[in-house]
Amino acid sequence: MRQLRQPVAPPALFFHRRVVTMLFLGFSAGIPLLLIFSSLSLWLREAGAERAAVTYFSWAALGYSFKFVWAPLVDQLPLPGLTRVLGRRRAWMLLAQLAVIVAILSMAMIDPAASDASLTLMALAAVILGFSSATQDIVIDAYRIESAAPELQAMMAATYIAGYRIGMLVAGAGSLFLADWFGTSSGAYSYDAWRWTYCAMALAMLVGVTTTLVICEPRENGRTATLQDPRDSLRFLVLFIVAIGGFVGVFFFAGGAIDAIRTSLGDVLASPYAAAFLLEGLRLALALLGAWLLAMLLVRSGIVRYALVERTYLMPIRDFFSRYGWSLAWILLALIGIYRISDIVLGVISNVFYQDLGFSKSEIASVVKTYGLLMTIVGGFVGGLLALRFGVVRILLLGAVLAAATNLLFMLLASVGYDMFWLYVVISADNLSAGIASAAFVAFLSSLTNVSFTAMQYAIFSSLMTLFPKLLGGYSGSMVDAMGYPGFFLLTAILGVPVLLLILVAERRLQLRDR
């Protein structure tokens, strides 16, 4: 792992060109997410779409959850003409941003209230937006890691998080404000209002496009795209398309069979939650198996060379285990997988908790969303500066302690009830600690990557870090029903204890390894 402890940065570090660049790229990365979920959900409800129809749009999240699958494509495949002019990273960044703009404009041109076919087209456009946005995330992460020395990574992570949150605020609260200003509401739906709102969001993406065009391509450090042969490029593209097609096909068609036995299995297990967990896990496993079998079929038939698959998918994984050894590598992967477990599991139920205490939607929006965003940004910069002064691993430990400890404040808020003062106190502590932890964690993940496999390795890390917490978070509602809010918040704090132990073990092992 690259050296993590660095000297104190001067004040001019805030205005370092690379640091400022990540603010604008983070803004560009933060725009698409809420245009797929919360803002689009409100649009669909106003358009009269049934609740069941909204489930179509869960497909858009697949791009974020499985972006490591096509990260090698971004890492290895040169874009004809564009790579020669802009360079490997900037070419993919520009392509992804243009694809995001096209997807947003496509959504703007569709009225979901027109027909069922229009709703299906909207779902397809949302999936394309999710795929394009996840691709942008892959290449921005790779650019951030490759474009600056390790001592700048913590501050670059902080500004990226700040820009990302600002982008989410623009796409969330900003789009709702624009739609309301253009003249749409739940009782008086206006397609034109939503169309112009999404067009404005597409226009906001020009911030990222402009940034991509003016920044410099990071140094290759002896690393270039390996798929220079056009035939290899075509074969790799075919492999990717066939594998993804197999995954989507199996996942889609297995859904009908699983729904047919969901109720029966729930009766056998005496728990619909356990049945849902097992069946969805089976569905995902079958889809992955289908994709793998199709990929192997292409390899065995000679259409795609095994050496190509090995250096694009297997070598980044082998590199990670060879650099850290099997035992330390598994410790690091376990740490990545559960580091954010306390705040993610709690965050799933947090808005419901606020509503149950009697806080209005406007109060939640002003305090939790707007003020909370400010505290997260402040926490990110504090975390970046602390990481520069004391080292990333130490601040990683501090962030884990704060994330678990601040969950105990929610127990206090649950006992106090409706109280604006205590809501501000809890949101201040929770979001400040989340910002500190996030800045240190992103810098930590960046330090684990090898510049020879930046996109693939970081995509694996970023996918792994939310997989298990989100699976567990899906049961937060049933846990609250079983033990109440105080008991649930205490449990989320206890879940942070293994994280602390893993950090201490990993720090010791890393120190021994460096010696």
Q: How confident is the model over 303-326, as a mean pLDDT?
A: 83
pLDDT band at 473 (very low <50, low <70, confident <90, very high): low
Q: How confident is the model over 371-398, as a mean pLDDT?
A: 86
> Do 22 and 148 form a contact (C-beta atoms < 8 A)?
no
pLDDT exceeds 80 at position 124: yes
* Residues above pLDDT 70, as percent of the chain: 82
Encoding tokens for residue 181?
A: 């200003």
Give dist(CA 460, CA 422) in Å, integer. Answer: 38
Can you say whether the dihedral through the CA atoms of 451, 132, 166, 39 is positive or negative? Answer: negative
**What letter represents residue 221's amino acid?**
N
Task: Identify the pLDDT of residue 237.
Answer: 74
Residue pLDDT, tens place only, 194-232: 999 999 999 999 999 999 999 988 876 545 455 556 666
Q: How confident is the model over 107-130, as a mean pLDDT?
A: 87
Give dist(CA 221, CA 72) in Å, integer. Answer: 18
pLDDT band at 7 (very low <50, low <70, confident <90, very high): very low
Q: How confident is the model over 369-395, as a mean pLDDT?
A: 84
Task: Identify the pLDDT of residue 32.
Answer: 92
Can you give the pTM of this predicted structure?
A: 0.77
Task: Identify the pLDDT of residue 8.
Answer: 40
Bigger pLDDT: 236 or 474? 236
**Biggest CA pair distance of the chain:** 68
Encoding tokens for residue 392?
A: 């990333």
Give dist(CA 463, CA 12) in Å, integer. Answer: 33
> Do 107 and 35 form a contact (C-beta atoms < 8 A)?
yes
Domains 10-221 and 324-515 share a fold: yes
Q: Domain spans of the chain?
A: 10-221, 230-304, 324-515
Task: Identify the pLDDT of residue 446.
Answer: 83
Domain 10-221 has CATH 1.20.1250.20: yes
> Do 312 and 501 form a contact (C-beta atoms < 8 A)?
no
> Do 422 and 416 form a contact (C-beta atoms < 8 A)?
yes
Pick the CATH number of 324-515 from 1.20.1250.20, 3.90.420.10, 1.10.10.60, 1.50.10.20: 1.20.1250.20
pLDDT band at 50 (very low <50, low <70, confident <90, very high): low
Task: Identify the pLDDT of residue 6.
Answer: 45
**What letter represents residue 500's amino acid?**
L
∠ Cα 388 393 398 (to 5°): 90
Task: Identify the pLDDT of residue 4.
Answer: 44
Encoding tokens for residue 255?
A: 């859904």
Looking at mean pLDDT, say which of 193-207, 444-458, 497-511 comes out highest: 193-207
Q: Per this entry, what is the length of the chain?
A: 515
> Do 376 and 150 form a contact (C-beta atoms < 8 A)?
no
Give dist(CA 222, CA 343) in Å, integer. Answer: 40
∠ Cα 41 45 51 (to 5°): 85
